């Protein structure tokens, strides 16, 4: 069975995100892992209300910021994928990991 490791990255710092993901892709290619991505999705604008007091009422202008997202997939290369997941990523990047197990086509279990 083959494993597919799906990585999702999100950050408010587009430059750090792009640099980190590009460096990761280059590392994966250098080690011979099959990698798809990075895939970018449109930035999401987040609006956070700011109140002048601890209760609702008087408000300052909301704080708005953009969240940038990238995703990648590593096919097979389980040992390389484990190393990637164990890496220390910058604090400004949120990383989510999902591992799917894929069965080869044409194989049945009786």
Buried b (16+ CB within 10 A) or exposed e, 31-43: eebebebbeeeee
Residue 72 Cα distances to 7, 58, 85, angstroms: 5, 43, 12
| pLDDT surpasses 60 at 55 | yes
User: Tokens 């987040």 belong to which residue?
Assistant: 46
Q: What is residue 51's three-state secondary structure?
A: strand
Computed over every residue of the chain, the mean pLDDT equals 90
- pLDDT tens-digit map of 58-89: 899 999 999 999 999 999 888 888 898 899 99
59-75 vs 93-102, strand pairing mode: unpaired
Instruction: Report the interhelical angle of 78-85 vs 14-30 (nearest 10°).
Output: 150
Confidence of residue 109 (pLDDT cuts 50, 70, 90): low
């Amino acid at each position: 069975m083959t494993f597919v490791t799906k990585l999702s990255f999100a950050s408010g710092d587009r430059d750090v995100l792009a640099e980190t993901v590009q460096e990761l892709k280059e590392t994966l290619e250098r080690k011979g892992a099959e990698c798809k991505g990075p895939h970018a999705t449109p930035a999401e604008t987040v609006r956070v209300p700011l109140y002048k007091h601890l209760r609702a009422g008087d408000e300052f202008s909301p704080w708005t910021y953009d969240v940038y997202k990238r995703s990648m997939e590593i096919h097979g290369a389980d040992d390389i994928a484990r190393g990637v997941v164990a890496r220390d990523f910058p604090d400004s990047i949120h990383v989510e990991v999902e591992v799917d197990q894929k069965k080869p086509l044409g194989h049945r279990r009786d």
